[in-house]
């Protein structure tokens, strides 16, 4: 019998219930030879809490935070049966990959939200470029019977995306979907990826260097994992090489950006606007300089949160584990 620990927290938002979450996870019981236990955490646990709360004899753990804090030698010594660990997110941070490989542990992520996160990146971009909500409020709040204001006049400037250059940093599943959306808007699409993509489906994308994306793109959208090589990849030097008036979108991880450098660029107008679903500190500190920038659109790390997407996330994690048990592991990251 394969013994599985499933980590969960009480879901946030009003559109999904804990009962729906637990009912979805119960599909694990349909896999022959699997028994599972739900392990509740109220927020992010410490490494010690994580170590202590997971039973010593589990074979697999689903829903782990893939960060350096949890998956270490101390944890694996205390849980010698573990051979499979699944994170629920697309993104993950660095850890001791060699250690996990040497112990024969398979680690996977869950590619559940490539469409919805790419959609959200474009919603941030469109809000910056079109400001439809602002214009709607302008119409609703103006007394048009007692004003000399012209009705058919834009209350804010607009930016047209057609024939602009959309630059992608990280051409994984989400980056590719963002590229397809940009193409549909009539944009020229360029991208930098650590290794060149060779499948014919990428033919509409011009794959270039990181420096070329910085210098050529009117819009830059970040879709890479956070690690020691990518932390602050958008820093003062990188921003200086960007086009004047470029737009920056980040739905990946906050620490990809040097936020002080971004603040200065927003204040000076070097960067026209930034759409950020992620920050270095979440929630932001009271004195976070980005909060003072009117041209920074900031949302609370919710690009992944539609109900359909969250339930798909759990179902895919179950399917991935079943694929592993059948000898065909998918989404392996180590």
Residue closest to 66 by CA, chosen among 15, 109, 25: 109
The H or E element that residue 2 is part of is: strand 2-8
- Distance (Å, rounded) from C-alpha 156 to C-alpha 134? 8
More confident position, 246 or 70: 246
Three-state secondary structure call for residue 196:
coil
Can you give the pTM of this predicted structure?
0.91
Mean pLDDT of 15-20: 91
Three-state secondary structure call for residue 282:
coil
- Give the pLDDT band of residue 89 (cuts 50, 70, 90): confident
pLDDT of residue 152: 85
Q: Give the tokens for residue 235.
A: 């820093």
pLDDT over threshold 80, residue 48: yes
Tell me, yes or no, if the two domains 2-113+307-325 and 114-298 fold the same way.
Answer: yes
- Distance (Å, rounded) from C-alpha 240 to C-alpha 256? 16
Ordered by start, the domain boundaries in the chain are 2-113+307-325, 114-298
Among 223, 253, 259, 310, which one carries the catalytic annotation? 253
**Catalytic (active site) residue 253:** yes
Give tens-digit pLDDT for 190-201: 999 999 999 999
- Distance (Å, rounded) from C-alpha 177 to C-alpha 174? 5
- Distance (Å, rounded) from C-alpha 253 to C-alpha 108? 19
**Catalytic (active site) residue 119:** no
- Computed over every residue of the chain, the mean pLDDT equals 93
Q: How far is CA 73 from the centre of its chain?
A: 28
Assigned architecture for domain 2-113+307-325: 3-Layer(aba) Sandwich (3.40)
- Distance (Å, rounded) from C-alpha 188 to C-alpha 167? 8
Q: Are 4 and 35 in contact (CB under 8 A)?
A: yes
Give tens-digit pLDDT for 201-222: 999 999 999 999 999 999 999 9
More confident position, 94 or 289: 289
CB atoms within 10 A of CB 61: 23
pLDDT over threshold 80, residue 153: yes
pLDDT over threshold 80, residue 166: yes
* Residues in the chain, total: 334
Among 282, 310, 312, 322, which one carries the catalytic annotation? 282
CB atoms within 10 A of CB 180: 14
Mean pLDDT of 110-118: 93
pLDDT of residue 240: 98
Q: Are 303 and 251 in contact (CB under 8 A)?
A: yes
Domain 114-298 CATH (choose: 1.10.260.40, 3.20.20.140, 1.10.3720.10, 3.40.50.720): 3.40.50.720
Among 212, 301, 312, 322, which one carries the catalytic annotation? 301
Mean pLDDT of 238-267: 97
- Distance (Å, rounded) from C-alpha 248 to C-alpha 233? 13
pLDDT of residue 323: 97
Q: Give the tokens for residue 98.
A: 């060699």
The H or E element that residue 309 is part of is: helix 307-325
pLDDT over threshold 80, residue 327: yes
pLDDT over threshold 80, residue 329: yes
pLDDT of residue 261: 98
Tell me which residue has tokens 């830059």: 220
Supply the DSSP string of 60-85, one letter for each residue.
EEES---STTTSSHHHHHH-TT--EE
Give tens-digit pLDDT for 155-165: 889 999 999 99
**Catalytic (active site) residue 301:** yes
Mean pLDDT of 29-33: 95
């Amino acid at each position: 019998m394969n013994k599985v620990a499933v980590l969960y927290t009480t879901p946030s938002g009003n559109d999904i219930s804990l009962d729906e979450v637990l009912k979805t996870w119960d599909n694990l019981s349909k896999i022959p030879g699997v028994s599972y236990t739900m392990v509740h955490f109220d927020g992010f646990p410490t490494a010690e809490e994580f170590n202590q709360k997971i039973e010593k004899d589990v074979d697999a753990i689903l829903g782990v935070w893939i960060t350096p804090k949890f998956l270490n030698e101390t944890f694996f010594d205390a849980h010698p049966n573990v051979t499979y660990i699944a994170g629920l997110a697309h993104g993950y941070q660095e850890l001791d990959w060699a250690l996990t490989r040497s112990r024969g542990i398979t680690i996977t992520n869950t590619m559940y939200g490539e469409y919805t996160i790419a959609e959200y990146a474009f919603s941030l971009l469109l809000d910056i470029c079109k400001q439809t909500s602002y214009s709607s409020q302008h119409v609703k709040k103006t007394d048009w019977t007692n004003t000399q204001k012209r009705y058919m006049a834009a209350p804010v400037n607009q930016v047209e995306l057609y024939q602009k250059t959309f630059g992608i940093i990280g051409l994984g599943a989400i980056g590719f979907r963002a590229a397809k959306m940009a193409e549909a808007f009539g944009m020229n699409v360029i991208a930098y990826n650590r290794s060149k993509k060779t499948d014919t489906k990428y033919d509409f994308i011009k794959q270039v260097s990181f420096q070329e994306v910085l210098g050529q793109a009117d819009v830059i959208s970040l879709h890479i994992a956070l690690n020691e090589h990518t932390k602050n990849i958008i820093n003062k030097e990188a921003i200086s090489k960007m086009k004047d008036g470029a737009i920056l979108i980040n739905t990946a991880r906050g620490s990809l950006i040097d936020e002080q450098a971004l603040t200065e660029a927003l204040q000076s107008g070097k960067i026209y606007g930034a759409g950020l679903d992620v920050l270095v500190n979440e929630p932001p500190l009271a004195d976070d300089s980005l909060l003072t920038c009117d041209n920074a659109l900031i949302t609370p790390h919710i690009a992944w949160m539609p109900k359909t997407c969250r339930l798909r996330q759990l179902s895919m994690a179950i399917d991935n584990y079943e694929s592993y048990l059948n000898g065909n592991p998918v989404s392996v990251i180590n």
